[in-house]
């Protein structure tokens, strides 16, 4: 049920939820001190169940403060994680990694299924201007500011060329967005309207652009780190191979889903679980992009068959539980010591990214002659960062290990801040735009995205 359409819960109900949450944390806290956490299937299942229950209860209590459910999932994970109470240890987080792969595959699948060709055509001008300005203005401004702040970090020991390269890579990370947070908020408040349509279309296509930019940026900046290494066009050839391969796999998966949904249609939960975990691992092994493949698959089902609504319904039911754990895990992985060590610089970089994103959004909206609601709030879905950003950080560090721990620390700290603040701003934008709850009121299926308790 959407937040907008649900009846407000009584003070008694909230008190019961708060008491239940305290009891859950107390029981697990005592058990964790009395019983050694074994690296076993049982320990992992207990951790999974705890995150699911604690995340759900905390998200309900967040409604009292007008905050999105995602904030509750993140907060529950943060408190339970190694940085605070230590109820979920690092080993359990590692063993729950397949949940992240499953969640990201469902996010991409649902995101592709939301991209209807007619919707893209209607928003083509807005999306084109936003894509151009967001991926140039934000990248350049954040890169310049990062280079200016390098003297205040341990990266000051790098040479001039390496600093320029690091700044460009920072700009690349800064233009990534979070489809998980976007779809999670949409699932909760069930909005409909021009801001919702623009947000879905732009963020999903932006992820594709970021994947391409990453593959292009790495070979381009490599000579800046090593003057003896020239630009290799073999990297660009590999990029083409990976992109074509990922799209081809996506089309094949889309065809398979159409056939399955049309001829069988049963046990869709098990089908999506197997597809999300199994195919993600296979694509990772052959070095294809799983996010792109699942995005194409969902897009293919939505636009070249009549099975789009059935696919979204299946993803919604599967993702109802998976996404709670996904964001709770994200909260548990937050390292507060990292935030303390680079706090001021990270806050400055996040502020600059926000201002650049806001300014680029206003400029693109004015150039595209968008509706007033997009001009006023079109920036709100662009602040969040999460899985894609962290994935690109991993790729960058593998390609340039010489950047060291300081670059990784700053990157993760900024993603964490944006991961917490972004969903709150997007929900605020939808509320102020008057679009929250519209899909439920109209009985629309246009935003029938994966929903955690009623994502992301």
333-347 tens-digit pLDDT: 777 776 676 778 889
Q: Are residues 181 and 120 in the same domain?
A: yes
Q: Are residues 316 and 385 in the same domain?
A: yes
pLDDT per residue over 29-67, tens digit each? 887 776 655 556 566 777 778 888 888 888 888 878 877
Residues 6+ apart with CB under 8 A from 251: 296, 297, 300
Residue that is last in its domain, among 45, 67, 94? 94
User: Is 226 a domain residue?
Assistant: yes
* CA dist., res. 66 & res. 424, Å (int): 9
User: Is 148 a domain residue?
Assistant: yes
Supply the pLDDT for residue 42.
61
* CA dist., res. 448 & res. 55, Å (int): 22
Q: Are residues 77 and 164 in the same domain?
A: no
Query: Which CATH number fits the domain that encloses residue 422?
Result: 1.20.1530.20
Q: How many alpha carbons fall within 13 Å on the CB side of residue 363?
A: 15
Q: Are residues 343 and 358 in the same domain?
A: yes
Q: Are residues 110 and 250 in the same domain?
A: yes
Number of domains in the chain: 2
* CA dist., res. 109 & res. 301, Å (int): 9
Residue that is last in its domain, among 94, 115, 136? 94
User: Is 356 a domain residue?
Assistant: yes
Q: Are residues 90 and 106 in the same domain?
A: no
Q: Which H/E stretch holds residue 28?
A: helix 11-34
Supply the pLDDT for residue 5.
43
Q: Are residues 143 and 39 in the same domain?
A: no
User: Is 450 a domain residue?
Assistant: no
Supply the pLDDT for residue 359.
95
Q: Are residues 22 and 121 in the same domain?
A: no
Q: Are residues 18 and 135 in the same domain?
A: no
pTM (2 d.p.)? 0.74
Q: Are residues 206 and 134 in the same domain?
A: yes
User: Is 1 a domain residue?
Assistant: no
Supply the pLDDT for residue 124.
85
- Long-range Cβ contact pairs of 371-377 (< 8 A, separation 24 or more): 371/194, 373/193, 373/194, 373/195, 373/433, 373/434, 373/435, 374/126, 374/194, 374/195, 374/198, 376/432, 376/433, 377/195, 377/429, 377/430, 377/432, 377/433
Supply the pLDDT for residue 451.
39
User: Is 449 a domain residue?
Assistant: no
Contact 23, 53 (CB under 8 A): no
User: Is 404 a domain residue?
Assistant: yes
Buried b vs exposed e over 19-56: b needs ≥16 C-beta within 10 Å? eebeebbeebeeebeeeebeeeeebbebbbebbbbbbb
Residues 6+ apart with CB under 8 A from 11: none
**Structural domain harbouring 61:** 11-94
Supply the pLDDT for residue 132.
93
Spatial CA neighbour of 447 closest among 167, 57, 119, 13: 119
Please classify residue 169 by burial: count the beta carbons closer than 10 Å to its beta carbon, then call 0-12 exposed, 13-18 middle and 19+ buried.
buried
Q: Are residues 130 and 58 in the same domain?
A: no
Q: Are residues 191 and 260 in the same domain?
A: yes
Supply the pLDDT for residue 455.
34
Residue that is last in its domain, among 56, 75, 94? 94
Spans of the chain below 70 pLDDT: 1-8, 34-43, 227-236, 238-239, 319-320, 338-339, 341, 387, 439-456
User: Is 391 a domain residue?
Assistant: yes
pLDDT per residue over 174-223, tens digit each? 999 887 788 778 877 888 888 988 888 888 788 778 877 887 888 788 88
């Amino acid at each position: 049920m959407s937040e907008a359409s649900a009846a407000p819960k009584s003070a008694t109900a909230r008190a019961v939820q708060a008491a239940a949450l305290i009891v859950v944390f107390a029981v697990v806290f005592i058990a964790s001190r009395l019983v050694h956490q074994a690296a076993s299937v049982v320990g992992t299942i207990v951790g999974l169940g705890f995150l699911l229950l604690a995340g759900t209860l905390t998200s309900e209590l967040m409604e009292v403060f007008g905050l999105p459910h995602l904030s509750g999932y993140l907060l529950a994970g943060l408190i339970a994680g190694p940085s605070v109470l230590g109820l979920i240890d690092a080993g359990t987080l590692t063993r729950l990694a397949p949940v992240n792969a499953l969640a990201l595959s469902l996010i991409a699948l649902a995101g592709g299924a939301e991209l209807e060709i007619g919707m893209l055509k209607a928003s083509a001008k807005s999306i084109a201007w936003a894509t151009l300005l967001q991926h140039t203005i934000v990248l350049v401004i954040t890169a310049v500011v990062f280079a200016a702040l390098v003297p205040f970090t341990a990266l000051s020991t790098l040479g001039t060329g390496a600093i320029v390269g690091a700044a460009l890579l920072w700009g690349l990370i800064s233009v990534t967005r979070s489809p998980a947070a976007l779809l999670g908020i949409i699932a909760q408040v069930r909005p409909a309207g021009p801001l919702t349509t623009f947000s879905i279309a732009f963020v999903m296509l932006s992820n594709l652009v970021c994947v391409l930019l990453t593959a292009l940026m790495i070979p381009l900046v490599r000579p800046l780190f090593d003057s003896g290494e020239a630009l290799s066009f073999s990297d660009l050839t590999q990029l083409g191979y990976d992109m074509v391969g990922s799209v081809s796999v996506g089309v094949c998966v889309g065809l398979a889903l159409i056939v399955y949904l049309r001829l069988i249609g049963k046990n869709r939960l098990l089908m999506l679980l197997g597809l999300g975990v199994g195919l993600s691992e296979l694509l990772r092994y052959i070095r294809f992009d799983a996010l792109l493949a699942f995005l194409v698959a969902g897009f293919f089902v939505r636009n070249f068959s009549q099975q789009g609504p059935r696919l979204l319904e299946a993803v919604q039911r599967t993702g109802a539980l998976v996404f709670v754990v996904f964001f709770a895990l994200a909260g548990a992985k937050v390292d507060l010591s990292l935030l303390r060590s680079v706090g001021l610089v990270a806050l400055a970089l996040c502020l600059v990214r926000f201002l650049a994103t806001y300014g680029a959004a206003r400029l693109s909206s004015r150039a595209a002659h968008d509706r007033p609601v997009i001009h006023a709030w079109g920036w709100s879905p662009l602040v969040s960062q999460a899985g894609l950003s962290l994935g690109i950080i991993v790729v960058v560090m593998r390609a340039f290990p010489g950047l060291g721990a300081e670059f990784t620390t700053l990157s993760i700290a900024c993603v964490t801040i944006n991961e917490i603040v972004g969903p709150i701003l997007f929900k605020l934008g939808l509320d102020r735009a008057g679009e929250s709850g519209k899909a439920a009121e109209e009985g629309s299926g246009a935003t029938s995205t994966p929903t955690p308790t009623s994502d992301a």
